[in-house]
Amino acid sequence: MTKVSMTVNGKTVSGDVEGRTLLSGFLRENLNLTGTHVGCDTAQCGACVVHVNGEAVKSCNMLALEADGADVGTIEGQANQDGSLNVIQQAFQDHHGLQCGFCTPGMVMSAAALLKENPRPTEVEVRKYLEGNLCRCTGYHNIVKAIMAASGQDVSSIAAE
Amino acid sequence: MPKDSGIGASSKRREDVRFLTGAGNYTDDINVHGQAYVHFLRSDIAHGRIKSIDTSAAEAMPGVVKVFTGKDFEGVGGMPCGWEVTDKHGAPMQEPPHPILAQGKVRHVGDPIAAVVADSLEQARDAAEAIDLDIEELPAVMNMKAAAQDGSTLVHDDLKNNICYDWQLGETDDTKVDEVFANAAHVTTLDLVNNRLVANPMEPRVAVGEYKRGTDEYTLFTTSQNPHVIRLLMCAFVLGLPEHKVRVVAPDVGGGFGTKIFHYAEEAFCTFAAKACNRPVKWTSSRSEAFMSDAHGRDHVSKIELALDADNNFIGLRTNTYANLGAYLSTFSSSVPTWLHGTLMAGNYKTPVIQVNVKAMFTNTVPVDAYRGAGRPEATYQLERVVDKAARELGVDPIALRRQNFITQFPYDTPVALTYDTGDYNGTMDKLEVAADLAGFAARRAESEANGKLRGLGINCYIEACGIAPSNIVGMLGARAGLYDAATVRVNATGSISVMVGAHSHGQGHETAFPQVVADMIGIDESMVEIVHGDTSKIPFGMGTYGSRSLAVCGSAMVKATEKVIEKGKKIAAHLLEASEADIELKDGQFSVAGTDKSVAWGDVTLTAYVPHNYPLEVEPGLEETAFYDPANFTYPAGAYACEVEVDPETGQVTVEAFNAADDFGNIVNPMIVDGQVHGGIGQGIGQALLENCAYDENGQLLSASFMDYAMPRADDVPFYGVDHSSQTPCTHNPLGVKGCGEAGAIGSPPAVVNAVLDALNSGGKAVEHIDMPVSPSRVWAAMNS
Ligand code: FES
Ligand code: FES
């Protein structure tokens, strides 16, 4: 067991982990931050996406030890200070961008990273960026629409929601 | 003007807030104090005889609590099948045992052989590697047609052959069918494969079993679409436990698509092991494990023949299908190729003579059961592909040929056992033609061609039988349980309402849509109504969510219970208003005396019901009503879909350029949610048509066992979809007039995509009659260059 410390959603946390403990496991099991989901074992689905030092990262594809000292953001830290949904979260609700909700934390975290680097992405850019995020429920229509809406674009001409 | 609340409003989903903030509660988020972890040692060969299993070394490993093998489950029931199909000679289907852990033989890659329970998952995994197995490998039974031959290796040694049943529906007189075909002006024949799929809800399955010695009570937390069904099957058929001592909880469920209907061995195992180990036992499926242990879907090989007269009227249809059931009978597997498939072969057409033949086969593969649409996509695919092929052969417009043969009079008795209550297939097709701008297709094709691409338009119609199901009818057809549903409407003293429903949302938004109905009926704010679901200790009973049934069946029970509540409320209001009960009306949350300005508010009546001072003595205090609802018939959503694809003639790459759906779902409670259901279904249908394929090699090795080699549709594989559900013929036999919308997209889209690809290739001058799904670039390229 090795001690690991990091900042998660602005709080300093630490815990004892094995060398093989994944960041996703550390967040879920040690910190009980179960909003980060695990949907695969081949780093393909994106349900586990978190931010590490501002970058979108698949937390199932990173060892907890590798995140030692890092600044980590998870879905639990995304809402506004007053607890209301942030712009992206609100757009997902407004445009029905989620059904079962299992892919949703990863989608929201990926969307945030996308909008940071590309504040007004086109449909094609959104779809390309989400390549690493699988959703089995929505057929992606409302996810793409929600992300475009969150970027301030008028999505009313996109087929019904 | 769209409504802003109640029935017909696109109310935003209240459950979203927790899902969007990481506060959902999925089964894997549940940890029970003191829990141990189980790892299943699964067969890595498809077929073999177990000579010996030595677990002694594993038992001595650190942290190991107990190691289980098939021996520990001798005398315990196996996994049951809920539907007994009778074959065409009147004999019951062959029903082999399905033990919790393999006994005697392993029958598919992934078949669980042993289970190690340990303090940590890592320890359980490490110990499983120390189990010494001696398994004699046997030839794998993989090809369905070969498996049906006498002398084939048997998957189950005690059965007479590998055929579970040889089933028939429709015209039983072969001579009569032969005559129809002999007299036909034209016959179109098509051989096709409905590819094996893996449902892959994003949340893998999880089970946590808990046992309390003090009270002899069990709790199972599980990823299920129907916790009551799991409790019933597990208690009555598998473990022999008293139902009142077992609580089954399915918290937030991360998608299901059918694959979380079934009772799985891991659920029974964790419940059993919790007592045997005297510790809670948790199992979390990895995705790789899901590929080899979740029931798969589809996997039919069919020949379909359509007979037409000289005027292009459909006069006869005959299908012969081999349906793969895999190695064991999963819970509803036997019903899928039969009553959920054969019954839909009439489609939207008035074909007078239909004969459906199905041989259901045991093979050394993962069990196959219902996946979104279950049987209906297989029927629709066959029918709509053969109709399209007929149109091409005859040189007629595929829409005109369909319209000419549409059923237009309702109710309509099909030759394959169903009575369609209502529909307007021409009206729905009209909507599609406008929504998809079919008039502009020629121009779009010209533009694609100018860019060196081929463009195709694929049309498809579908009908499905939903709202499963009238209990007496399914009972006659072999279902071992009725399929009604139940709801309790519990009004609190202050007027807020908890509704306990037997349906269980796994993404469908019940927490939002169901309250819309109750609030609308009473005239109160939606936020005053809340749904309770997914826990057998809180809900009277329920058959769960599948077969697009939640609103049509459980919603009807909820309406009936709410009506009872309102009726009782009127009695109380009449007393308070000193009026006759017959004169009391309820509107906007006010009980009033008709034609007067005397009224009393909902909240005053509910308070009176619970703190009865001034109260009608002949009425019992309290305001809570339960209703069970058994549907009188199936519901029949129907629609018409149009897909436009571009094909790159250089590479065979297909891109879906446009997809439009026109559906008739009857009345609609929440249009936003309905659109989302259709989107998701279309996404899965495009996945089946272009990308997904669960492949085995001839030795029974599972080739697509992860997201690396099973191509799930991704955001850039699909376009925005056009969805139109303004064609509405309300269901005639349920109180809401709703038909169900959960499966339509997955049923209606695959043939539209394939028809579009073929249209594109043929437009390029290449006469290609058929390409099997998934229509991959290599298959398209091969067809173009054959
Ligand atoms: S769980 Fe990390 S990519 Fe699937
Ligand atoms: S909402 Fe269910 S997987 Fe995306």
Q: A79 is written with which tokens? A: 């809402």
What is the amino acid identity at position B31?
Answer: N
Q: B576 is written with which tokens? A: 């308070």
Classify domain B484-629 by CATH number: 3.30.365.10
pLDDT score of B117 more than 70: yes
pTM of the complete model: 0.97
- Look at residue B477 in the predicted model and tell me its pLDDT: 84
Rounded to whole angstroms, the Cα distance separating B636 from B384 reads 17
Q: B408 is written with which tokens? A: 């237009």
Residues of chain B with C-beta less than 8 angstroms from the C-beta of A49: none
CA B645-B649-B651 angle, 5° bins: 100
Domain locations along chain B: 27-138+202-255+260-293, 296-469+633-785, 484-629
- Look at residue B223 in the predicted model and tell me its pLDDT: 97
Between chains, do A78 and B706 touch, taking CB under 8 Å as contact? no
Q: B498 is written with which tokens? A: 């908890």
Specify whether the CB–CB gap between A136 and B257 falls below 8 A: yes
Rounded to whole angstroms, the Cα distance separating B26 from A96 reads 20
Between chains, do B203 and A45 touch, taking CB under 8 Å as contact? no
Rounded to whole angstroms, the Cα distance separating B380 from B389 reads 14
Rounded to whole angstroms, the Cα distance separating A25 from A31 reads 9
Helix H, strand E, coil C: the string for B711-761 is CCCCHHHCCCEEEECCCCCCCCCCCCCECCCCCHHHHHHHHHHHHHHHHHH
- Look at residue B1 in the predicted model and tell me its pLDDT: 56
* A100 close to ligand 2 (CB < 6 Angstrom): yes
pLDDT score of B580 more than 80: yes
For residue A79, what is the nearest residue in chain B, using CA coordinates? B21
pLDDT score of A161 more than 60: no
Cα torsion through B125, B130, B134, B139, rounded to 10: 30
Residue of A37, A57, A60 best suited for mutating to test ligand 1, as the one with most atoms within 8 Å of CB: A60
Helix (H) or strand (E) holding A58: strand A55-58
Rounded to whole angstroms, the Cα distance separating B31 from B37 reads 11
CATH 3.30.365.10 is right for the domain spanning B296-469+633-785: yes
pLDDT score of A129 more than 70: yes
Counting ligands in written order, the one closest to the CA of B507 is 2
- Look at residue B618 in the predicted model and tell me its pLDDT: 86
pLDDT score of B727 more than 80: yes
CATH 3.10.20.30 domain position(s) in chain A: 2-77
Q: B378 is written with which tokens? A: 């297989």
The more confident residue out of A36 and B1 is: A36
Sequence-distant (6+) residues with CB within 8 A of A139 are: B679, B680, B681, B682, B683, B684, B686, B713, B718, B721, B745
ipTM above 0.85, yes or no: yes
Between chains, do A96 and B676 touch, taking CB under 8 Å as contact? yes
* A130 close to ligand 2 (CB < 6 Angstrom): no
Classify domain A87-150 at the CATH topology level: DNA polymerase; domain 1 (1.10.150)
Q: Could you report the per-residue pLDDT of B486-511, keeping only the tens digit for each?
A: 999 999 999 999 999 988 999 999 99
Rounded to whole angstroms, the Cα distance separating B637 from B664 reads 6
pLDDT score of B196 more than 50: yes
Q: What ligand 1 atom has the least distance to the C-alpha of A37?
A: 1
Helix (H) or strand (E) holding B300: strand B300-308
- Look at residue A79 in the predicted model and tell me its pLDDT: 97
Task: Measure CB to CB from residue B507 to each of A41, A99, A127 and give the nearest one.
Answer: A99
CATH class assigned to B27-138+202-255+260-293: alpha beta
Q: What ligand 2 atom has the least distance to the C-alpha of A137?
A: 2
CATH 1.10.150.120 domain position(s) in chain A: 87-150
What is the amino acid identity at position B94?
Answer: Q
Average pLDDT, integer, range B762-784 = 95
The more confident residue out of B549 and B168 is: B168
pLDDT mean across residues, chain A: 96
* A135 close to ligand 2 (CB < 6 Angstrom): yes
Question: Are B296-469+633-785 and B484-629 the same fold in CATH?
Answer: yes
Query: Which of the four pLDDT bands, split at 50, 70 and 90, describes residue B581?
Result: very high
CA B649-B654-B655 angle, 5° bins: 125
Classify domain A2-77 by CATH number: 3.10.20.30
Average pLDDT, integer, range B461-476 = 86
pLDDT score of B643 more than 90: yes
Helix (H) or strand (E) holding A87: helix A87-94
Query: Which of the four pLDDT bands, split at 50, 70 and 90, describes residue B476?
Result: confident
